[in-house]
Chain A
Amino acid sequence: MIIELGHFALILALAMSCCLAVLPGFGVYLGRPALMRTGGSLAAGMFVFTLVSFVCLAQGFIGDDFSVAYVARNSNSALPVYYKISAVWGAHEGSFLLWCLVMSSWTLAVAMFSQQLTDDMRARVLTVLGSVSIGFYLFLIFTSNPFDRTLPFFPSEGADLNPLLQDFGLIVHPPLLYIGYVGLSVPFAFAIASLSSGQLDAAWARWSRPWTNVAWAFLTLGITLGSWWAYYELGWGGWWFWDAVENASFMPWLIATALVHSLAATEKRGVFRSWTVLLAIFAFSFSLLGAFLVRSGVLTSVHAFAVDPERGVFILWYLIIVIGGSLLLYGIRAGQMSVNVGFGWLSRESFILANNLILTVSAITVLLGTIYPLIYEWFSSGQKISVGPPYFNMVFVPLMLPLIALMALSSFSRWRRTATEVLFGKQPIRLLISGLVCLIFCLLTSTWNLWFQVVSLISIWLIVNLLADARYRQGGRGFAGFLKQTPSYYGMWLGHIGIAVSALGIVTTVVMSEELDLLMSPGDKTQIAGYDLRFEGVERVNGPNYSADRGIIAVSRQGRLIEMLYPEKRLYSASQSVMTEADISVSFWRDVYVALGEPIGNQAWSVRVHVKPLVRWIWLGGILIAIGGFTTILDKRYRRLKMARQLQSRAETSVQASLA
């Protein structure tokens, strides 16, 4: 019954989205404010019904209702209750319901927090969001319904959630990622609304900025968490695989990063207007493309959703309609956006332009590598290929180095034009300081790798520049000026520091990691990167829904015990699937990572050991970037704007009242 209620609520949410796509827009067409204002309540209705639907499905999981096909495939009565809840989004159908829930939440948030918009603009934005939602709901209900029953013969026990997904990572990673993915629909909606209204002033940049920054920060967090999860859960010690699905989240991130910067230039200086609109369209298009790549099964990937060609065709058509339609509109209207705002070669505008250029090219190269197997197969009539990580490293790293270098220089750039002296005057001394720090680093670790030297030099140079900028802000001494900056500045500062921290983490991990696969019997010792590991043996342990062999490994350094590690090899009873659960000795400076392979006779096991210096920095950087993104929306500017608008509208109504 509850399941049918959920299904019914979902259909009502679809009906709401249809109304939302029609009524406010119709109100704009007829010029009827009452009709335009229906958007808010319709968005609320859409959200409430989707939430009801989601809660009903969750109830199906908690109550072990295995007559529901989706529950039977992805749950089990022995599953701990928190995994039962996260299993709601553990596979295709439920995760798309989560996607729709996130979409309706964003729509509601826009409806609630957009008082500064005119009724006309608000109605247009909500119309676009409603139209986008229709496609999502149709897809969910007709191709991926999580509420399908398998009556009258249903299994008495569920097949269990994929063991890889029985983890804290699954609880938080998909929701955060989806908030980011779907959040990009908001700047998209603003862009389309502005294009359709012909109001192509810089105001839309001011409206979209906080929304874009928040969506982008969530996307950053989602990707960071995904990387961390893959690192400890897949048992390989890798943190990025250039897998098709990772790329699917990374491409929208690259474009959204460009958008975040370009929006700043458009808001502050009115430049790049049509380009920014185009980026907003592409950011959302890339997140839809990501959904297509992940859910259609056209590419080989470690993230395997059960594949159904019908779904791929649906998303492909949806993609063509959304991207094609918005580009058509763009083509018709973009001509009206040309503005003549000049800027010098050494201005912040130029730096942002270069940033946009590099990020867009990076996104395109990632896209090319990701879909090249499809293109190749098409042109060679069926020959299958895969594109290896070397391609991505070879293309991506050379693009990122100039990006970080420009970031370092741009710390001192000003709008319109920057004096050469301000920009380059103190660079020799800063470069020298960075070089010295880098040299000390190399000497301490006795690493003489060229990649390491180049990347760490540039990253340290970026940090030195940011610190120097903080020090001398507004001519102040001793960071006094730094404390008086706006949240926008702190956000930028933190985000750029985060990039440097991540880059240092990446290059150090890649260059200095040591890895060992070996056979160990109880009592065996091995040494890696200055650490002594002793294999004490394996014991049997039982979890709630699995049994495991648990290895006992003592990690010590110079005779002093650091930590006991207990990596596990689990056998999940319901699905009879085996899973490696690595154990990690975590610290700020290095990780010691141990995973069990297989038993190889006579109590001996194959064991994988990694020592990964600074690997935590990769995710620490990602978190700093996200915090930076969230910080920017604290800027009073956006609230002031709202106040001004409210005052203005109050004045208008009083004028109208007095006229009447």
Chain B
Amino acid sequence: MKFGMMKTHRRNQLLLIVVLIVGAGATLALVMQALTENINLFYSPAQVVAGEAPTSQRIRAGGMVVVGSIQRAADSLQVSFLVGDLQSAQFPVLYDGILPDLFREGQGVIAGGSLDESGVLIADEILAKHDENYMPPEVAQIMASQQEKTPP
């Protein structure tokens, strides 16, 4: 009797372990699948200009809003501007919507969206810094690496 109970106990334990392993495996597979589908690679202006960024998938690209490049449509919310680095690489961004408060010429910005055939980033999200002392780390790194290269 006691032995029989042990056996059911063991069988239940085994069943539980199998369920756990299958569940964990399924979850892990689902998670990895979701991760690989939903990452947005980040590109610098130089990389976008050099054609290193893919055109078919969603990316993020960032740099400084080029001074004097912001153009608005007269009758809609469409706005276009150039994003560049400290050197000469620049790419155009097209956005239809309301820009964040801290979006300004000459300030750091990250645009999320996809590149079209002509190299224009059709953005569905624009991130500007939320604080005067803060720059997106990605953009800060581009600027810092270029400042090292250019002799003062």
CA distance A600 to B99 in the complex (A): 12
- Point out the residue from B97, B99, B130 that lies within 8 Å of A302, measured CB to CB: B130
Contact bitstring B86-128, A, C-beta under 8 A = 1, else 0: 0000000000111101100000001000000000000000000
Q: Is the CB of B98 within 8 A of A304?
A: no
A394 touches B (CB below 8 Å) = yes
Q: Is the CB of B101 within 8 A of A388?
A: no
Known: A297-B137, A385-B40, A385-B41. A606 touches B98 (CB 8 A): yes
A453 touches B (CB below 8 Å) = no
Q: Is the CB of B38 within 8 A of A391?
A: yes
Q: Is the CB of B130 within 8 A of A164?
A: yes
Q: Is the CB of A391 within 8 A of B99?
A: no
B72 touches A (CB below 8 Å) = yes
CA distance A441 to B72 in the complex (A): 43
Q: Is the CB of A391 within 8 A of B136?
A: no
- Point out the residue from A365, A517, A608 that lies within 8 Å of B31, measured CB to CB: A365
A114 touches B (CB below 8 Å) = no
Known: A235-B101, A300-B136, A395-B31. A518 touches B42 (CB 8 A): no
- Point out the residue from A365, A518, A578 that lies within 8 Å of B101, measured CB to CB: A578
Contact bitstring B39-60, A, C-beta under 8 A = 1, else 0: 1111000000000000000101
Q: Is the CB of A597 within 8 A of B41?
A: no
Contact bitstring A578-603, B, C-beta under 8 A = 1, else 0: 11100000000000000101101100
- Point out the residue from B20, B31, B101 that lies within 8 Å of A577, measured CB to CB: B101
A474 touches B (CB below 8 Å) = no
Q: How large is the interface on A (under 10, 10 to 19, 20 to 34, 35 or more residues)?
A: 35 or more
B1 touches A (CB below 8 Å) = no
Known: A385-B40, A577-B132, A601-B74. A395 touches B30 (CB 8 A): yes
A306 touches B (CB below 8 Å) = yes
Q: Which of B24, B75, B130 has the most chain A CB atoms closer than 10 A to its own CB?
A: B130
How far apart are A254's CB and chain B's nearest CB, in angstroms?
A: 15
Chain B residues whose CB sits within 8 angstroms of the CB of A606 once the complex forms: 77, 98
Q: Is the CB of B101 within 8 A of A391?
A: no
* Residues of chain A in range 530-562 having any CB-CB distance to chain B below 8 Å: none
CA distance A4 to B12 in the complex (A): 66
Chain A residue at minimal CB-CB distance from B30: A395
CA distance A83 to B77 in the complex (A): 35
* Residues of chain A in range 364-413 having any CB-CB distance to chain B below 8 Å: 365, 368-369, 372, 376, 383-388, 390-391, 394-395, 398-399
CA distance A395 to B32 in the complex (A): 10
A439 touches B (CB below 8 Å) = no
How far apart are A246's CB and chain B's nearest CB, in angstroms?
A: 14
- Point out the residue from B39, B98, B131 that lies within 8 Å of A372, measured CB to CB: B39
B134 touches A (CB below 8 Å) = yes
Chain A residues whose CB sits within 8 angstroms of the CB of B129 once the complex forms: 304
Contact bitstring A324-356, B, C-beta under 8 A = 1, else 0: 000000000000000000100100000000000
Q: Is the CB of A387 within 8 A of B38?
A: yes
A519 touches B (CB below 8 Å) = yes
A575 touches B (CB below 8 Å) = yes
CA distance A213 to B134 in the complex (A): 37
A162 touches B (CB below 8 Å) = yes
Q: Is the CB of B134 within 8 A of A391?
A: no
B34 touches A (CB below 8 Å) = yes
Q: Is the CB of A368 within 8 A of B39?
A: no
Chain A residue at minimal CB-CB distance from B138: A384
Chain B residues whose CB sits within 8 angstroms of the CB of A235 once the complex forms: 101
How far apart are B131's CB and chain A's nearest CB, in angstroms?
A: 5
B35 touches A (CB below 8 Å) = yes
Q: Is the CB of A388 within 8 A of B34?
A: no
CA distance A280 to B115 in the complex (A): 47
Q: Is the CB of B27 within 8 A of A361?
A: yes
Q: Is the CB of A580 within 8 A of B101?
A: yes
CA distance A394 to B31 in the complex (A): 8
- Point out the residue from B31, B77, B101 that lies within 8 Å of A368, measured CB to CB: B31
Chain A residue at minimal CB-CB distance from B41: A385
Chain A residues whose CB sits within 8 angstroms of the CB of B20 once the complex forms: 357
Known: A395-B34, A519-B76, A597-B98. A388 touches B132 (CB 8 A): no
Q: Is the CB of A608 within 8 A of B35?
A: no
CA distance A395 to B74 in the complex (A): 42
Known: A235-B101, A386-B42, A578-B102. A391 touches B35 (CB 8 A): yes
Chain B residues whose CB sits within 8 angstroms of the CB of A357 once the complex forms: 20, 23
B133 touches A (CB below 8 Å) = yes
Known: A385-B41, A388-B40. A300 touches B137 (CB 8 A): yes
How far apart are A389's CB and chain B's nearest CB, in angstroms?
A: 8
Chain B residue at minimal CB-CB distance from A602: B74
Q: Which of A297, A376, A391 has the most chain B CB atoms closer than 10 A to its own CB?
A: A391
Known: A600-B72, A601-B74. A517 touches B34 (CB 8 A): no
- Point out the residue from A302, A376, A519, A579 that lies within 8 Å of B39, measured CB to CB: A376
CA distance A394 to B34 in the complex (A): 7
How far apart are B123's CB and chain A's nearest CB, in angstroms?
A: 14
Q: Is the CB of A597 within 8 A of B42?
A: no
Q: Is the CB of A519 within 8 A of B75?
A: yes
Contact bitstring A295-306, B, C-beta under 8 A = 1, else 0: 001101011101
Contact bitstring B16-32, A, C-beta under 8 A = 1, else 0: 00001001100100110
- Point out the residue from B34, B42, B141 that lies within 8 Å of A385, measured CB to CB: B42
Chain B residues whose CB sits within 8 angstroms of the CB of A345 once the complex forms: 12
CA distance A597 to B39 in the complex (A): 29
How far apart are B122's CB and chain A's nearest CB, in angstroms?
A: 16
- Point out the residue from A306, A368, A384, A519 that lies within 8 Å of B35, measured CB to CB: A368
Chain B residues whose CB sits within 8 angstroms of the CB of A395 once the complex forms: 30-31, 34
CA distance A624 to B138 in the complex (A): 40
CA distance A311 to B58 in the complex (A): 34
Q: Is the CB of A372 within 8 A of B40?
A: no
Q: Is the CB of A608 within 8 A of B98?
A: yes
How far apart are A344's CB and chain B's nearest CB, in angstroms?
A: 10
Chain B residue at minimal CB-CB distance from A297: B137
Chain B residues whose CB sits within 8 angstroms of the CB of A365 once the complex forms: 27, 31
How far apart are B149's CB and chain A's nearest CB, in angstroms?
A: 16
Known: A394-B38, A608-B98. A304 touches B134 (CB 8 A): yes
Known: A597-B98, A597-B99. A388 touches B38 (CB 8 A): yes
Q: Is the CB of B102 within 8 A of A162?
A: no
CA distance A478 to B77 in the complex (A): 59
Chain A residues whose CB sits within 8 angstroms of the CB of B102 once the complex forms: 577-578
How far apart are B53's CB and chain A's nearest CB, in angstroms?
A: 12
Known: A606-B77, A608-B98. A304 touches B35 (CB 8 A): no
Q: Is the CB of B134 within 8 A of A306?
A: yes
How far apart are A410's CB and chain B's nearest CB, in angstroms?
A: 18
How far apart are B22's CB and chain A's nearest CB, in angstroms?
A: 13
A391-B34, A395-B31, A577-B101 known; 6 new pairs, CB 8 Å cut-off, are A365-B27, A390-B38, A395-B30, A519-B77, A577-B102, A598-B99
12 example contacts (A-B, Cβ-Cβ < 8 A) are as follows A162-B132, A164-B130, A298-B137, A304-B131, A342-B9, A361-B27, A384-B141, A386-B39, A386-B40, A394-B30, A518-B77, A598-B98
Interface residue ranges, B against A (CB under 8 Å): 9, 12, 20, 23-24, 27, 30-31, 34-35, 37-42, 58, 60, 72, 74-77, 96-99, 101-102, 110, 129-134, 136-138, 141
9 tightest Cβ-Cβ pairs between the two chains A and B = A597-B98, A391-B38, A384-B42, A304-B134, A394-B34, A385-B39, A390-B38, A304-B131, A578-B101
